[in-house]
Amino acid sequence: MEIGIDSFVATFSSRPQHPISDQDAIAQLLERMKFADEVGMDVFGIGEHHRKGFLDSAPFEILSAAAAITKNMRLTTAVTVLSAADPVRVFQSFATLDLISKGRAEMVVGRGSFIDAYPLFGFDLEDYDDLFVEKLGLLLQIMQKEEITWKGKFRPALNNQSIYPRPAQNPAPVWLGVGGTPESFVRAGSLGLPLMVAIIGGETHHFKPLVDLYREAGKRAGYTTDQLKVGLHSLGYVSDTREQAIEEFYPGYAEAMNKIGRERGWSPMTRGRFEAQMGPRGALLVGDPEEVAEKIVRHSNALGGISRLSFQMDTAELNHQKLLHAIELIGTKVKSLVNRAE
């Protein structure tokens, strides 16, 4: 199983108790990415948000900077909000990253968990699904051949248009990022795309029927089991002891979840709800290396096997040193424990 980190480059700039400039936040992020590569992390992902408190609105630029200071780990978006982007420019950015990184680039595409990009780039939320379907189809065509003739609803037509540069990898890896919509799982399977499932709450085993839909759709479309990879994007944090991990992670996590919850009408995050998520079947991967590794293996078994697990630690807005230490523990302990247990 590949083990990685996803970052939304959440900053402390809006929290007076932890002030940090955006410039320093980016510098620290790149230091963490370099360190993650050094301790053996398999992959590092950068999200895409268009709101205050996040510095990941241009993920390919961040990943390209990381490509110049890393050697081995794969570099991916997590996720590219394809519905609000031009597939041609997305492809060109990806291909450039792939060339800079010498074939280490990947892309997870999706519709995004926030809606900020839609009005920002002039798109109507009523076209939420249609936008994604059309743009994904065009992106996949561009990935497959240099010269494109294409016509759609949301972008000007392409007539025998060649699109450059071409990536180093062929085929280039594109994952489909999904939440909890059955149609999205079926779509990924029908297209034979690797699946990245974002599970940020509840109990992981509840997603098994959706993952089964993905695999069944893929098999019907003629894809092999090896092609139908499943990855898991999970909120988590690792420290030396379980108690320390909870003490460091919970305050920022509760603050962030309550802020988002006020926007979305969620009930408040309480210590009791947090403890439930910490349980054996709960989605949170928070604890010491042994506990977290055991839980990753349980999650994999519950979903019928996963190929990749990515930690998303930004939610708790932990400081740089704590994140570095967590990355060290994940790369040097959690990863080996998981691989020995598989």
Identify the helix (H) or strand (E) that includes residue 159: strand 158-162
CA-wise closest residue to 238 among 12, 103, 39? 39
Residues 124 and 122: their CA atoms lie apart, in Å, by 7
DSSP 77-115: ES-EEGGGS-HHHHHHHHHHHHHHTTS-EEEEEE--SS-
Domain spans, the chain = 2-341
Q: Are 342 and 4 in contact (CB under 8 A)?
A: no
Tell me, what's the pLDDT at 267? 86
Amino acid residing at 58: A
Residues 6+ apart with CB under 8 A from 102: 168
Tell me, what's the pLDDT at 12? 59
Orientation of helix 59-67 relative to helix 22-38, angle to 10°: 50
Residues 6+ apart with CB under 8 A from 167: 94, 95, 98, 99, 103, 105
Amino acid residing at 308: R
Tell me, what's the pLDDT at 18? 63
The Cα-based distances of 57 to 79, 126, 173, 305 in angstroms read: 11, 23, 21, 32
Q: Give the burial string for 320-341 (b: 16+ CB within 10 Å, else e).
A: bebbbebbbbbbebbbebbeee
β-strands 43-46, 195-199 pairing: unpaired
pTM comes to: 0.95
Tell me, what's the pLDDT at 262? 87
CA-wise closest residue to 283 among 306, 308, 311? 311
CA-wise closest residue to 254 among 189, 211, 316? 316
State which fold the 2-341 domain adopts: TIM Barrel (3.20.20)
The series of mean pLDDT values per 10 residues for the chain, 342 residues long, is 96 65 94 98 97 94 98 97 97 98 98 91 94 98 97 97 98 94 96 96 94 98 95 97 96 89 86 90 96 97 97 90 97 97 82
Tell me, what's the pLDDT at 126? 93
Residues 172 and 41: their CA atoms lie apart, in Å, by 21
Q: Are 83 and 138 in contact (CB under 8 A)?
A: no
Q: Give the burial string for 211-233 (b: 16+ CB within 10 Å, else e).
A: bebbbebbeeeebeeeebbbbbb
CA-wise closest residue to 289 among 231, 338, 234? 338
